[in-house]
Amino acid sequence: MKYVIGLDEVGRGSLAGPVVVAAVLIPKGLRIMNYELGIMKDSKKVNSQKREKWFRFFKNHPDVLYTLARVYPKKIDQINISNAANLAALHAYERLVSGIIYKVPDVYLDGGLYLGGGKNRIPAKTVIRGDEKITAIKIASIIAKVSRDKFMARLAKKYPKYNFETHKGYGTKRHIQVIKKFGPLIVHRRSFLRFI
């Protein structure tokens, strides 16, 4: 049986919290069917309740294996968001393949992600809008989004004034007002706050 890996990230444009990458391994040609949830779509096109149901479905699916990796604000500020997303992608990929014993022929990345650099670059196909086209990337987009949203909900309990449960760390008007009023937290990306 042949397998494919898909990777997707979430949190690239957020002012707070980590960038999260999910790496997903599935059998090539796997068709995902769920009569209750309908057709699987990219995480950005599914409401939060449906995303959560899809997440539970994949978590228990015997043919879906996944890992997650996060890069936190301090490191994002040190190396920039693109390098941080690529670092998270590399970590998620390495964790995933470290536990398998067969050769993975196809690796697909969404958008601008890269795996390694120079001589260490891992061969992968970058697919623009891969989260709409490639099943493994669609699954990765949902797993990454739900996992990051859960992380931001935990931050909301720790820092209730900042309402992370609603904006998930993104630069909404309300979030920017709260930062201006109370100041940034350790979970904020300082390099992203220079322009507010």
Instruction: Give the separation between CA 92 and CA 115, rounded to whole angstroms.
Output: 10
Of 47 and 177, more confident: 177
Instruction: Give the separation between CA 139 and CA 155, rounded to whole angstroms.
Output: 25
Give me the pLDDT at residue 43, please: 63
Give me the pLDDT at residue 180, please: 97
**3-state DSSP helix/strand/coil % of the chain, to nearest 5:** 45, 15, 35
Tokens linked to 31 = 């068709």
Q: What is the dihedral of CA 5, 111, 11, 82, to 10 degrees?
A: 110
pLDDT in tens, 88-134: 999 999 999 987 777 777 899 888 777 766 555 677 888 888 788 89
Averaged pLDDT, 65-94: 96
In the chain, the largest separation of any two C-alpha atoms, in whole Å, equals 57
Give me the pLDDT at residue 117, please: 61
171, pLDDT greater than 80: yes
172, pLDDT greater than 60: yes
Non-local CB neighbours of 47 within 8 Å, separated by 6+ positions: none
Average pLDDT, the chain: 90
Tokens linked to 124 = 């992968």
Of 71 and 32, more confident: 71
31, pLDDT greater than 90: no
Give me the pLDDT at residue 33, please: 77
Instruction: Give the separation between CA 140 and CA 121, rounded to whole angstroms.
Output: 21
Q: Name residue, tokens 């630069």.
A: 171
| pLDDT class of 167 with cuts at 50, 70, 90 | very high
* DSSP letter assigned to residue 32: -
What are the DSSP E strand ranges found in 115-166?
Answer: 125-127
Query: Domains in the chain and their CATH numbers?
Result: 3-193 (3.30.420.10)
Contact between 25 and 136 under an 8 Å Cβ cutoff? The reply is: yes
Give me the pLDDT at residue 179, please: 98
